[in-house]
Amino acid sequence: MSPTEITGRTRIYGILADPIHHVKTPQVMNALLRRHGVEGVLVPFHVAPGGLQDLLGGLRRTGNFGGFIATVPHKTAMLRLCDRVSSAAEMIGAVNCVRREADGSLSGTMLDGIGFIEGLRAAGVEPRGLSAYLAGAGGAGRAIAFALAEAGVTRLTIANRTLKRARELAEAVAAAFPAVAVSAGTEGLSDHDLIVNATSLGLDPADPPPVDVTQLRPGQVVAEAIMEPEVTPLLEAAKACGCRVQPGRPMLDSQIALMARHMGALS
């Protein structure tokens, strides 16, 4: 039987998002499942925050459902909706991959940070020893902040629309990684080696830029967590300034196998 054929034995996996049109995960995950001969399929679920708990109630009771990926804006909410979470997810305060156990309970973890760092390294960018400026303190931002600190950046500046949230994240990262100089604010973007957008700004072409692009300088690495569009307005501005750019897709590619294993699709 071809693994692309859906039958009564097909294992179902999902990705939960709002909006959903931009996600690239189904194509990448399903290609991986086909390569490994897995009789499973990952499908998109468009669910707004108000409907998230009701959807999970149904998925818990769906016997052929194996798990799901959670993305914007559900990562932080998923922490309290899972029955158990990994220590990494607990520290970060967000979940982006959930396994449905045989009894219907949900086990969550966070793989955004690992995926982002591995995506950088695959492109030849080693974070160790760099100074990093991170825009965004939400679910993806938290994961990437801890991952950058663990990867050995020397300095980390966290910017967020709500400064209080950026300060709280900076304090948490500094407590976990005291060797890293961590601060909150929007100053000094031009003084950093690595600029990271972990906000949702850029999904819509009409969005304002997530950082002050007039401060970009040649030689900086500007990286996105957004998958679609592949080249966001931020990356366009960065290329025009002579920066090296890193789109969001490598982060996804680096996470896919980890996510498939966590959901039980791959051993």
Residues annotated as catalytic (active site), given as ranges: 75
Is residue 223 a contact partner of residue 249, using CB atoms and an 8 Å limit?
A: no
CA atoms within 13 A on the CB side of 120: 25
Closest CA to 199 of 171, 174, 162: 162
Position 215, amino acid: Q
Q: Count the neighbouring beta carbons within 10 Å of the beta carbon of residue 9.
A: 10
